[in-house]
Amino acid sequence: MKKVFLTFVLALVSVVGFAQTSWAVDPMHSSVNFNIKHMGISFVQGRFDKFEGKVMTPGKEAGLDNAVFSFFVSTGSVNTGVEMRDKHLQSADFFDAENFPKMTFESGPLVKDKNNTYTLKGKLTIKDVTKEISVPVTYGGITKNQQGKEVMGFQTKFTVNRLDYNIKYDPTGAGVAKDVDVNLYFELVKQ
């Protein structure tokens, strides 16, 4: 009986020792933003109003070390502040939101660089194209919010070539640039 109890305790310690912590994006304190050059002389800024995501960390004290990320953005929620332009961006010329309602990102483990910076590698899917990307991440840390819940913050900024993802409108890039600057700011709540 002692052996059975000892085996149970060791199994429980192993499970607890390797338990993952789940964090969910708090949309009230997060944003998915972009800007793109227009006519070669100015920029159009925008955002996506609907998105979800989660991060799995290997333990409470690990921070982002070896975390795994999973996010999606609703393409129909694109918002540049101009309704006519937003409808065009939702059309087949750009995101084709009817046929491709989500952009997704699925990561592998995160690799720590130095201080609070990391390199995140993963698969970005826009429309019918999935590509491996590598982006820098700045980790803000963990604290408690007003409700006493643990929250984590991080941000990333990177550039994608829209033509790589079958967003072929104006392929010369003369009117709408090929490169899109993406800025993500996330606050996540421990689940």
In tens, the pLDDT along 101-144 reads: 999 999 987 888 888 899 999 999 999 999 999 999 999 999 99
Q: Which residue has the tokens 């698969």?
A: 123
| Residues 83 and 90: beta-carbon distance below 8 Å | no
| Residues 44 and 78: beta-carbon distance below 8 Å | no
pLDDT digits (tens, 9 = 90+) for 146-184: 999 999 999 999 999 999 999 999 999 999 999 999 999
Query: Does 70 reside within a domain?
Result: yes
Considering only CA atoms, which of 58, 65, 53, 8 is closest in space to residue 27?
A: 53
Query: Does 56 reside within a domain?
Result: yes
Query: Does 171 reside within a domain?
Result: yes
- Across the chain, mean pLDDT equals 89
Residue 37's alpha-carbon distances to 41, 89, 179, in angstroms, are: 7, 15, 8
- Number of structural domains (the chain) is 1
Q: What is the CATH number of the domain that holds 162?
A: 2.40.128.110
Query: Does 15 reside within a domain?
Result: no
CA dihedral 102, 139, 120, 189 (to 10 degrees): -40
Query: Does 7 reside within a domain?
Result: no
Q: Which domain holds residue 124?
A: 20-190
